[in-house]
Structures are given as structure tokens and as C-alpha cells.
Chains A and B, each alone.
Chain A
Amino acid sequence: MAKDIKISIRNLYKIFGPTPDVALEHVRKGMGKAELLEQQRHVLGLRDINVDMHDGEITVIMGLSGSGKSTLIRHLNRLIEPTAGEIKMDGEDIMSYTEEQLRKLRRERMSMVFQKFALLPHKTVLENAGMAKDIRGYTTSDFEADARKWLARVGLEGNEYQYPHQLSGGMQQRVGIARALVSDAPIMLMDEAFSALDPLIRSDMQDLLLELQGELKKTIVFITHDLDEALKLADHLVILKDGEVVQQGDPQEILLNPGDPYIVDFISDINRARVLRVRSVMSPPDDGDSEFAGDISEKDNLESILLKSDGDMSLNFRVVRDGQHVGTLHMKDLAKALVPTAASADRDKTAA
């Protein structure tokens, strides 16, 4: 899938402190985060970040608190200025932007959803949804239809004239999403957008996001500390630790081939059957095998196949995309894939 690169980050460094340039030299020479704090009184935010984010994909940046993920997403619209490095958007270097260009970028090409919703408490839901348009100089009557449409789309029909404090957290974040959608920007930055919500509501919101993304094909950069959420949403997963990228790529790939003990540790607790998908473990189409127990989609997760097979490990399934036979799933491979990572470390690379 060779999609266009929408956002490209190269050699990005961020150091917090009074003289970041001096500290940068030390970091480039290999000084670690703890050492830097000890000796130079500077905090290492990000070190040598290189990430490409593709058009129409959800790129999830995952890490624990203090890993630098929130810092990273704020570089994309320059809410935080980097110490060194370059950020390109549609091929343009946004570091060279003037204030006016930057404002245009933030107004028209990007929108953002925040962990704490960050709605305007003195404005109605409708006005909040239209905030981006309002900033651009449109009047309420100009954006009202649009705002109503998106509010309805996120399930807030009838709440237009309420104030944010009258809504629950989940509903407020729906307003936040509607606000991002009304702005019509191709890029959507989501900073721990669902972290403040209850697990059930969070799951609903994830489904809503995937559903919307299916239609809209925006370039979404999603920050989270929750691996399940990351695996559920990500087309491209970037794992950050202490300001550095530990591993990035297709989430299934990372799950099956973790490149770092840190990640192994991280993924040890998750339900692999629910996260891994058929396409990650299937073999190429093989005409020799004629005994198929049924047709499955490459997007199905392994849990559903297990259910279908009723636990019979001798079965084979035919993997079909748009009516075409694209591969074969052997239940044996499926079972192997479910073996926890540490034991499967030397297993052959499966087709991606």
C-alpha cells in the first residue's frame, strides 16, 4: 500500500531547559535522559525522532507517561518548537513558516482533539462545534448547517443549544470530535482523546472514530498510553520510550516480532487472539490444499476464527478479499501465533 507521505518528521530533537543548544550537543554525543538531567539540568523531551505518517491512515503514537508522546504531537502544529530537526507536511517544511502561514496551517489543514476536551464553557455546543469556522471569520449562520450535520453524526442531535457543563464527559468529547470535523481539515491530531473516558464509552468512541475514518479517510495522529486502544486503531504504530522511538510499523508486525524487551514486556498481557488478524498469519494461496472449512476475511481477528473452528486445529480456511482467494489460514499457524512472544521469537517471519 504505497500511500503518499502526509507528514514526515526527520531527526527531531526537543530539550527543555535554559540552554537547549548546549545540551543538544551532549545528547547528540549520546548522553542519556537521566544523565542529562543530572549533569546539565535539562530535560530530554525527544531524541532523534524519524516518523512518516501516510495520507488517510491512523498513526498511533503510544508510550507511557513521560515518553514524550504529547510533546511530539504538539510539534506537528508547532505548539511546541523543536530544538532541532525538520517537520514536513505535504512536502513543505513547516519550520520555515511565518506566523501567518502557521496560523493558516492550524486553521485550515489541521484540527485537534484534546484529552480534557478544552471546550469553551461560555459557548453552546453548536458554537463550540463551529469554533474553527468562527475563527476563520464565518458567522454562526454560515456554519450552522455543517455543525448540525456533524453533531448529529457523532450522536449529539438535540444537544445543540446546551452548554458543555450540561453534558457528560463522553458527550463533551463528541463535541470535541465534531469541532475537529467541522473544521474540514485533512489532518486530525488526537491527544489522548479518549483517555479521560470510562472504558465502555471509550470503546464506543473508538468504534465511532473507526467508522468515521472509514468514510473520511483523514490523516489521523492519535496519541495514547493504552496498548489495546493503539492496536485497535493503528494503521501505523509508533512506540515511544523516554523520548525515543523504540519500534514502529504495522501493529500486527510489532506484535508478532517485537524488536525490544520493553515491547515484549508491554505486549505480554494482551489478548493476542483478539488483536491479531488473519492477514498477519495466513499463508499465500496454495492450490494443493482443497479442504477448506469455510471462507474468511483477512480482516477477521483470530478470536472469531477460533470460534468458527470450534477449537479443531486440523482445519484450513480460505481467505477471501472481494471474492478473490488471497490466502490460506492453517489453524496450526494460528495456534503458533497465539504463543506468547518470548517463546515465538525465532519463528519464521510470516507474510505481512
Chain B
Amino acid sequence: MATYDSFFSSLGLEQWCSEGQSSGPMSMADLLNKNKGESAEPASIWELPFPSMDALNESCAAFPQSRELTKGLEQGFLAVKDSLSLVLDPITQPLSWFLDGALYAMLNTPWWIVIPLLLAVVYVVTKSWKLMLFVGGSIVLLAFIDHYDYAMQTLAIIFVCAFLCVLLGVPIGIAMARSNTLQRMIVPILDMLQTLPPFVYLIPLIFLFSVTESKLYGIAIILYAIVPVIRLTNLGIRLVDKDVIEAADAFGMTPRQKLYKVQIPLALPNIMAGVNQTIMMSLAMVVIASLVSAPGLGVLVLRGIRNLELGVGLVSGLGIVILAVILDRVTKASLARINVSQKQ
């Protein structure tokens, strides 16, 4: 009846095949064939189906369909899920505390404390009055159009996630720089994290953690945004002038001294470039994170998309752009300050 019948019969597997029963539901193609009568047999070589799992299943009922594969994967994941979340849940719990704490602090501190505080931080890291005025103007603009709360929620989330990215990413990058084996192992993971559509790794996360907890989106953002800081820390340390490293060895530095007195300071421009990218990428994740209940400007963007409220979407999009420009300028300015003091 089906195309690959002869293949199974030539292997002498008819017995085995007939033992299985096709459990899969009828497909639209079957129904169409049924409607057309018995013209089911593909007439010419041009319609030869690829010997996929489903096509083989048609000839041999015992052969698994591809839905069994996805089902098997799902069941496998569900089977390890409980033990996995038993380990991961407590480990990641602090993330929820950080996020909730930061959101609470940002929203419950009056604006006349938060805004000057932010500006002070900007001045300390950039030493530029011009930039500070620009940031002040931008925040006041956002506040004036009643987007202050949303913007601060977004900022709080980015601060926490970017901070944790640096906290975790820099040591990973350092470890990678020290061991070629580790680098070979981690680089494919980083490639995967960067190319995998964020939604895909949201799925197992939703299964693993309670969706009402803030760490869910925290993890999603961190997984996505941690990549550049790891990569550039690794690169920065590997690019540290070999002569200086040799000098450090020749004067008898311990590996720890070498790391703190030479490698990290000299890799700092690269590490900071990584931090800049990490912050920008966490901002890029804000809209996607809103799908898993992250508060902030992303929620407004989603509302704009869902209800086609063009104005809401545009204004909140503009808010994100303003935050992006602010964060980019500030990190770049502090990066420039480091670069000046490090010129060779």
C-alpha cells in the first residue's frame, strides 16, 4: 500500500511490523486521499516521499512516528524535571530576591531620591557633566510622559541581571582563558545560547520554575546576555601582552597576583566592552521577558502589539531606545576612561 512496503518486506520484518499498530491520528493527507478514492498510491518517482519516520511508519506500523520522538523528549524532560528543579530551585532563589528587592526599592523610593542618585552614579563613572545632563533630561522626559515607573522597573531588572552576568561571566571567562579544554567546551554552549531563539529556552524554564516567580525572566535574560561578557573576558585575558606576563613571571608573581595585578587590569577595556554589550543585550531581552511576566516597558510594547495601539507601542518603544542610548553612552564613556589610562 505505502511506498516503503517492499523495503521492510525485503528485510523480512513484516512480522515485526504487523505487531505494531498505528496509534497516530489520521492526517489531513489521509483524509484528502480518502475523499479522492483509491488514488492513494504515489504514481511517479516525482512524488516519492522522503523516507522519514512518518513515511516509514505508514509502511510498517511498528516503526515509530516522529511524534513519538517529541513525546519521548517531553517525557524524558518531565521525568528529570522534579530532581532538576530540586537542585536548581534553591540555587536560583537569590535571583528572585534580588529582582524583587530591586523592583521594590526602585518603585518605593521617591523619584526625587532615585533620579539624583542615578545622576550621581552617572557622574562618578563618566566624569562628564554633559552626559549627566543628557541622562537627567532623558529620565525627566520619560517621567513627564508618565513612563517613569515602567522605565525604573526595566532599569532595575537590567541592573540586577547585568550585575549577575558580570559576577558570573567574568570568572567563567577567566577560567576559560586559563584552560584551552574549558574553552573548547564552553564556546559551543555560548554559540548555542546566542543563536537559540530566546523562546526556545523559555520552554524548559517554564517547566522547571514557577512562572509566577521573577527568577524565570531573570534567568532568561541572564542566559542571553551573559555571553558577551564571558567571551570578551576570555579574549581580553588571552590578549594581554605576553611580554608583560613574562615580566610578571620573571619577578616571581604567584598565579593569583598575576591575575589580579596584571591580567584583569590589562583585560579591563575588553571586559568593559563585554559589560556594555551585556547591558545592551539584557535590554533587548526586556520585551521577550515581558512574555514571562517581567514588568517594565516591555509590557507596554506587548500591549501595543496585542491591541494594535500604535501610540502605546511607539512611546514605549521610544522609552526603550532612550534607556538603550543612556546605558550605552554611560558604559562607553566609562570604558573610554579606562582606555585612556591604559594606553600602551
- Chain A residues with CB under 8 Å of chain B are 77, 79, 102-108, 110-112, 114-122, 131-132, 134-136, 163-165, 183, 189
Contacts and interface: CB of A to CB of B under 8 A. Distances in A.
B262 interface: yes
A79 B342 CA distance: 26
A183 B244 CA distance: 17
Nearest to A166: B343
Interface stretch (B78-86, B132-140, B250-258): B250-258
Contacts of A77: 250
Contacts of B268: 122
A221 B268 CA distance: 35
A114 B246 contact: yes
Contacts of B200: none
Counting from the closest, the 6 A-B pairs by CB-CB distance are: A106-B252, A107-B252, A118-B247, A118-B243, A112-B250, A165-B343
Contacts of A103: 252, 254
Nearest to A111: B251
Given A106-B250, A122-B268, 16 more contacts: A77-B250, A79-B246, A105-B252, A107-B251, A107-B252, A112-B250, A115-B243, A116-B243, A118-B244, A119-B247, A120-B266, A135-B251, A135-B253, A164-B344, A165-B343, A183-B251
Nearest to A103: B252
B70 interface: no
Contacts of B241: 118
A121 B342 CA distance: 5
Contacts of A134: 261
Given A121-B342, A122-B266, A135-B257, A114 B252 contact: no
A274 B249 CA distance: 39
B317 interface: no
A119 B253 CA distance: 14
B341 interface: yes
Nearest to B338: A122
A86 B200 CA distance: 61
Given A114-B246, A135-B257, A163-B341, A104 B265 contact: no
Contacts, number: 67
Contacts of B341: 122, 163
Interface residues of B, number: 21
B344 A120 contact: no
A307 B304 CA distance: 96
B249 A79 contact: yes
B237 to A, nearest CB: 14
Nearest to A132: B251
A106 B251 contact: yes
27 contacts: A102-B252, A105-B252, A106-B249, A106-B250, A106-B252, A107-B251, A107-B252, A108-B252, A112-B247, A112-B250, A112-B251, A114-B243, A114-B246, A114-B247, A115-B243, A118-B243, A118-B246, A120-B266, A122-B268, A122-B341, A132-B251, A135-B251, A135-B252, A135-B261, A165-B344, A183-B251, A189-B250
A345 B261 CA distance: 56
A163 B339 CA distance: 13
Contact of B252 (A104, A122, A189): A104
Interface in B232-252: 241, 243-244, 246-247, 249-252
B293 to A, nearest CB: 43
A131 B265 CA distance: 15
A252 to B, nearest CB: 32
Given A116-B243, A122-B342, A110 B261 contact: no
Contacts of A79: 246, 249-250
A180 to B, nearest CB: 9
Contacts of B266: 120-122
Nearest to B257: A135
Contacts of B344: 121, 164-165
The residue in A120, A163, A164 that gathers the most chain B C-beta atoms within 10 A of its C-beta is: A120
Nearest to A176: B247
Contacts of B262: 120
A163 B241 CA distance: 17
B294 to A, nearest CB: 38
Contacts of B261: 120, 134-135
B164 to A, nearest CB: 26
A120 B343 CA distance: 10
A225 B182 CA distance: 40
A135 B253 CA distance: 6
B251 A131 contact: yes
Nearest to B268: A122
A132 B253 CA distance: 9
Interface in B307-344: 341-344
Contacts of A111: 250-251
The residue in A79, A110, A118, A131 that gathers the most chain B C-beta atoms within 10 A of its C-beta is: A118
A121 B343 contact: yes
Nearest to A100: B254
A165 B342 CA distance: 8
Given A118-B244, A121-B344, A135-B257, A110 B265 contact: no
Contacts of A121: 244, 266, 342-344
Interface in B191-213: none
A260 to B, nearest CB: 32
Contacts of B246: 79, 114, 118
A163 B261 CA distance: 16
A165 B241 CA distance: 14
A248 B310 CA distance: 86
Contacts of B257: 135
Interface string B140-165: 00000000000000000000000000
Contacts of A183: 251
B247 A122 contact: no
Contact of B244 (A108, A120, A135, A136): A120
Contacts of B253: 135
Nearest to A105: B252
A164 B246 CA distance: 17
A77 B246 CA distance: 11
Contacts of A117: 243
A219 B254 CA distance: 25
